[in-house]
């Protein structure tokens, strides 16, 4: 990159490939080579850019010139005209001003961003979130103005329905249908709620979205307010997100000053206010009915549905709840059209999805990809592969409610149905890459510890069932597993899935059941062979000092039970009976002379 002057982004989405983008790529490379520009120009393949009808798409940066319907023959012309002569190839230029993909213009970081498609995060990392002017300059609040000028509430709902957008909080319920239900529920008052109670450990999509572009959420909510006949919006956000709260407050204040919230928005008849309510540290409050109880000032415990919040929600009134990411899609859908939106993604899952990629992957961070992108693309192309040179073992999607998928499922597409079909879920978008150094029983235990701790305690299967499951998992990792334990886990797990009151309990067993399904051997190793191949479960390990030992004595000094003996500069040994398997010697040894197995 150092000497690069131009980056050519070539859309590598399915539609463009179909229309011959790969041959365009060859032709571009050929032309670049011909002019000896290999050092100055970099070709980058991107994920679907959402301009399928005009594909193949070639974008030249800097300048963000979009060329459409590029053929093999056009390639040389682009190189010669644009790159060498500095003139646009006018007949190919596509004049499309979509809200997304601006980051190409700003970031040079195409390895990471190239395969992504940023719709919900379109402004994140681009604008100053505390300056409403930045948002306004990028067509901010134009969607709201458009709705107020040109569309009836029904038109708005129809547009959202056309887009095929589904709830990004995990459930995947069609957003337009939800709006429709709420709009048609009897009642004089209605509420619009933004669920920003993001609680998955390791997921921070919503926080980033609010911190990076708070006005988008407000605009989306106001549009919904207009569509369903509500004048009151509430953002329910975790108290643990002080900066996001501050930026939201500022955004609400600025929007109100600019008559983009409040009474008679932009001179119209429509009035809409937004209030912030804080959570207080309860994961279960992400569940709609629990969230409602929390806003009402009560313990955030779910209640049986029906009645659904769209009919009987906050303070007993029809209530529309969508999560942050869902809201962020709304202005785009209004401005670029539901039809366009629905062209992105798969048959049943439209648009993009944001994932918080973490764990043993090189590029940890937030990625937004079109639905239908494979897990492999995310882990290797965007995530840059496994950190530290270990071997890929599993990918955990959907946070503590999700499942662990082994390598053979890496070509699974991310969409609601495909992930569910292989035993995981989309969830809110947590994605943890696990390598061979992690023990799957321990991973399952980690997630279950979380859900068990976050169980509200209302229903028996979740309160008592997850506790017993955790006990069984704990004893397996301690080497005290018994024959029949796996079956017990399966029995309790399926019972809790089918019988729990809310989504938390219904999905809590997923990490356990999916690891049993995909990594049963590891469980059996723990129980029957008393072995933890990943070397994680301390009680199952044996520490041994091998020939590499130089006799420095460091291990001896840290051993809390004096289990290590040996004379200076001589091979030391560990008394296995005295060893409590704390691992301190292993961590201390600088010569890799201690093994654990």
Partner 1 sequence: MIEMKDQKIDELKEYIAATQSNDNPESYLIAVLHKVQGLFGYLPREVMDVVAKAMNIPTAHIWGVATFYHYFNLKPVGKHIVSVCMGTACYVRGAGKVLEALKKNIGVEIGETSEDKLFTLQEARCLGACGIAPVIMIDDKIYGELTGKTATELIKKYRKAAKG
Partner 2 sequence: MSELITIHINETEYKVEPDQTIMQAADKLGFHIPRLCYHPKLSIEGACRVCIVEVEGMKNYVASCAFPITDGMKLHTNTKGLRRARRDIIELLLDNHPMDCHTCERDGNCELQRLAASVGIRARHFEGEKKHYEKDISFSSIIRDPDKCILCGRCVRMCSEVQKVHNLTQAHRGFKTVVMPAYNMPMSESVCTACGQCINVCPTAAFLEKNYTQELFEKLNDDSIVKVVQFAPSVRAAIGEAFGLEPGVNMEGKLVAAFRKLGFDYVFDTQFSADLTIMEEASEFLERLQGKAAMPMITSCSSAWMKCLEQFYPDLIDNVSTCKSPMSMLGALIKTYFANKIKTDPKKILSVATMCCTAKKYEAARPELDVDGMPGVDIVVTTREIAWMIKSAGIDILNIEEETPDSPLGISSGAGAIFGTTGGVMEAAIRTAYELFTGQTLVDIEIEDLRGLEGIKEGKVLMDGNEIRVAVAHGLGNACDLLDIVRQEPDRYHFIEIMGCPGGCIGGGGQPYAAANSIPLDEDCLKKRAEALYDIDRKKTIRRSLDNPDIQQLYKKFLHSPLSKVSHKLLHTHYQAKTPVGIIPKK
Partner 3 sequence: MLTPLEIIKKKRAEAVSRIISKGYLSTKRVYVGMATCEIAAGSKEVMDVFTEAVSKGLTDVYLSQKGCAGRCNLEPTVEVVEEGKIPVKYGKVNKERALEIVDRHLKNGQVIKEWLI
Residues that bind partner 3 (CB under 8 A): 1-2, 4-7, 61-63, 103, 105-109, 112-113, 121, 123-134, 136-137, 139-142, 144-146, 148-150, 204, 207-208, 211-213, 241-244, 258-259, 265-268, 358, 362-368
Residues 6+ apart with CB under 8 A from 569: 550, 551
Q: Does 459 contact partner 2 by CB under 8 A?
A: yes
Residue placing its CB nearer to partner 3 in the complex, 2 or 186: 2
**H helices within 296-323, ranges in order?**
none
Taking the complex as a whole, the smallest distance from the CB of residue 303 to partner 2 amounts, in Å, to 7
Selection from partner 1, partner 2, partner 3, none that 506 binds (CB < 5 to 8 A by kind) is partner 2
Give strand pairing partners of 405.
395
**Residue 290, CB half-sphere, CA atoms under 13 Å: how many?**
24
Taking the complex as a whole, the smallest distance from the CB of residue 114 to partner 2 amounts, in Å, to 39
Task: Please report, as ranges, the residues that interact with partner 1 according to CB under 8 A.
Answer: 199-204, 207, 239-241, 277-283, 294-301, 315, 356, 358-360, 364-365, 396, 399, 430, 432, 434, 438, 446, 456
Taking the complex as a whole, the smallest distance from the CB of residue 476 to partner 1 amounts, in Å, to 17
SS3 content of the chain, % helix, strand, coil (to 5): 45, 15, 40
> What is the number of other CB atoms lying within 10 angstroms of the CB of residue 103?
22
Q: Does 460 contact partner 2 by CB under 8 A?
A: yes
Residue placing its CB nearer to partner 2 in the complex, 103 or 450: 450
Contact 163, 336 (CB under 8 A): no
Selection from partner 3, partner 2, partner 1, none that 202 binds (CB < 5 to 8 A by kind) is partner 1
Residue placing its CB nearer to partner 2 in the complex, 311 or 394: 311
Picking from 256, 192, 246, 252, the residue whose alpha carbon sits closest to that of residue 224 is 192
Selection from partner 3, partner 1, partner 2, none that 461 binds (CB < 5 to 8 A by kind) is partner 2
Q: Does 501 contact partner 2 by CB under 8 A?
A: yes
Residue placing its CB nearer to partner 2 in the complex, 488 or 548: 488
Residue placing its CB nearer to partner 1 in the complex, 281 or 484: 281
Residue placing its CB nearer to partner 3 in the complex, 194 or 265: 265
Taking the complex as a whole, the smallest distance from the CB of residue 400 to partner 2 amounts, in Å, to 14
> Tokens representing 19?
């229309």
Q: Kindly tell me which residue out of 499, 544, 584, 595 binds partner 2, with binding defined by CB under 8 A.
A: 499
Residue placing its CB nearer to partner 3 in the complex, 212 or 370: 212
Phi-psi region of 437 (alpha: psi -120 to 50; beta: other; left: phi over 0): alpha
Give dist(CA 140, CA 129) in Å, integer: 12
Taking the complex as a whole, the smallest distance from the CB of residue 284 to partner 1 amounts, in Å, to 9
Taking the complex as a whole, the smallest distance from the CB of residue 4 to partner 1 amounts, in Å, to 26
Give dist(CA 89, CA 388) in Å, integer: 45
> Tokens representing 577?
């009976």
Picking from 323, 198, 305, 284, the residue whose alpha carbon sits closest to that of residue 504 is 284
Give dist(CA 152, CA 150) in Å, integer: 7
Selection from partner 2, partner 3, partner 1, none that 65 binds (CB < 5 to 8 A by kind) is none
Q: Which stretch, 254-262, 355-363, 456-464, 564-572, contacts partner 2 (CB under 8 A)?
A: 456-464
Selection from partner 3, partner 2, partner 1, none that 148 binds (CB < 5 to 8 A by kind) is partner 3
Strands of the sheet containing 58-61, edge to edge, are 41-46, 6-11, 58-61, 65-67
Picking from 506, 537, 543, the residue whose alpha carbon sits closest to that of residue 523 is 537
Collapsing DSSP states into helix, strand and coil, what is residue 148? helix
Q: Does 281 contact partner 2 by CB under 8 A?
A: no
Residues 6+ apart with CB under 8 A from 507: 398, 400, 401, 402, 425, 451, 497
Picking from 580, 581, 585, the residue whose alpha carbon sits closest to that of residue 566 is 585
Residue placing its CB nearer to partner 1 in the complex, 146 or 277: 277
Give strand pairing partners of 236.
195, 277
Q: Kindly tell me which residue out of 250, 277, 362, 467 binds partner 2, with binding defined by CB under 8 A.
A: 467
> What is the number of other CB atoms lying within 10 angstroms of the CB of residue 528?
11
What are φ and ψ of residue 60, in 5° steps? -105, 125
Taking the complex as a whole, the smallest distance from the CB of residue 124 to partner 2 amounts, in Å, to 34
Q: Does 525 contact partner 2 by CB under 8 A?
A: no
Selection from partner 1, partner 3, partner 2, none that 200 binds (CB < 5 to 8 A by kind) is partner 1
For residue 43, what is the enclosing H or E element? strand 41-46
Give dist(CA 508, CA 505) in Å, integer: 5
In order of 350, 363, 405, 432, 499, the CA distances from 360 in angstroms are 29, 9, 15, 8, 35
Q: Kindly tell me which residue out of 34, 482, 491, 548 binds partner 2, with binding defined by CB under 8 A.
A: 491
Selection from partner 3, partner 2, partner 1, none that 525 binds (CB < 5 to 8 A by kind) is none
Residue placing its CB nearer to partner 3 in the complex, 61 or 510: 61
Give dist(CA 62, CA 29) in Å, integer: 18
> What is the number of other CB atoms lying within 10 angstroms of the CB of residue 565?
12
Q: Kindly tell me which residue out of 498, 520, 548, 557 binds partner 2, with binding defined by CB under 8 A.
A: 498
Q: Does 351 contact partner 2 by CB under 8 A?
A: no
Taking the complex as a whole, the smallest distance from the CB of residue 109 to partner 3 amounts, in Å, to 5
Taking the complex as a whole, the smallest distance from the CB of residue 171 to partner 2 amounts, in Å, to 13
Q: Which residues bind partner 2 (CB under 8 A)?
A: 282, 299, 303-304, 306, 452-461, 463-465, 467-468, 471, 488, 491-492, 495, 497-501, 506
């Amino acid at each position: 990159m150092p000497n690069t002057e131009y980056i050519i982004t070539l859309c590598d989405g399915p539609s463009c490939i179909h229309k011959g983008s790969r041959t365009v790529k060859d032709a571009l490379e050929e032309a670049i080579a011909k002019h000896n520009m290999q050092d100055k120009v970099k070709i980058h393949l991107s994920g679907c850019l959402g301009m399928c009808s005009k594909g193949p798409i070639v974008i030249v940066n800097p300048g963000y010139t979009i060329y459409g319907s590029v053929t093999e023959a056009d390639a040389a012309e682009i190189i010669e005209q644009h790159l060498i002569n500095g003139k646009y190839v006018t007949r190919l230029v596509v004049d499309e001003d979509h809200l997304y993909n601006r980051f190409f213009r700003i970031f040079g970081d195409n390895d990471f961003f190239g395969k992504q498609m940023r719709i919900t995060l379109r402004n994140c990392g681009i604008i100053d979130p505390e300056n409403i002017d930045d948002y306004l300059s990028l067509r901010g609040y134009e969607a709201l103005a458009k709705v107020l000028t040109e569309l009836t509430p029904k038109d708005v709902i129809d547009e959202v329905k056309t887009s095929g957008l589904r709830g990004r909080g995990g459930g995947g319920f069609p957003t337009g249908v939800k709006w429709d239900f709420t709009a048609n529920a009897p009642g004089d008052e209605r509420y619009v709620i933004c669920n920003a109670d993001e609680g998955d450990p390791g997921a921070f999509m919503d926080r980033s979205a609010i911190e990076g572009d708070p006005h988008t959420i407000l605009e989306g909510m106001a549009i919904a307010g207009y569509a369903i006949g509500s004048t009151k919006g509430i953002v329910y956000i975790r108290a643990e997100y002080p900066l996001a709260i501050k930026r939201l407050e500022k955004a609400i204040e600025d929007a109100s000053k600019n008559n983009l919230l409040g009474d008679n928005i932009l001179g119209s008849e429509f009035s809409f206010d937004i209030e912030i309510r804080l959570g207080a540290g309860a994961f279960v409050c992400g569940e709609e009915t629990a969230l409602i109880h929390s806003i009402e000032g009560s313990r955030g415990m779910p209640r049986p549905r029906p009645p659904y919040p769209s009919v009987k929600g906050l303070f007993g009134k029809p209530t529309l709840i969508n999560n942050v990411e869902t809201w962020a899609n709304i202005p785009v859908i209004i401005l670029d059209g539901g039809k366009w939106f629905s062209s992105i993604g798969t048959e049943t899952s439209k648009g993009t999805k944001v994932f918080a990629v973490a764990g043993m992957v090189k590029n940890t961070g937030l990625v937004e990809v079109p639905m239908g992108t494979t897990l492999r693309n995310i882990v290797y192309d965007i995530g840059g592969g496994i950190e530290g040179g270990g071997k890929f073992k599993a990918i955990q999607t959907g946070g503590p409610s999700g499942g662990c998928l082994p390598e053979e499922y890496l070509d699974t597409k991310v969409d609601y149905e495909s992930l569910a079909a292989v035993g995981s879920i989309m969830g809110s978008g947590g994605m943890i890459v696990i390598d061979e150094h992690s023990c799957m029983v321990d991973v399952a235990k980690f997630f279950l510890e979380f859900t068990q701790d976050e169980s509200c305690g209302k229903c028996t299967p979740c309160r008592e069932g997850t506790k017993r499951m955790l006990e069984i998992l704990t004893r397996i990792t301690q080497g005290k597993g018994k024959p029949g334990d796996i079956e017990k886990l399966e029995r309790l797990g399926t019972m809790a899935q089918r019988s729990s009151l809310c989504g938390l309990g219904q999905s809590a067993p997923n990490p356990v059941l999916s690891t049993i399904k995909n990594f049963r051997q590891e469980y059996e190793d723990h129980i029957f062979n008393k072995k933890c191949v990943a070397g994680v479960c301390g009680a199952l390990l044996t520490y041994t000092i091998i020939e590499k030992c130089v006799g420095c004595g460091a291990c001896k000094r840290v051993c809390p039970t004096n289990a290590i003996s040996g004379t200076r500069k001589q091979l030391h040994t560990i008394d296995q009976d005295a060893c409590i398997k704390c691992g301190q010697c292993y961590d201390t040894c600088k010569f890799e002379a201690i093994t654990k197995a």
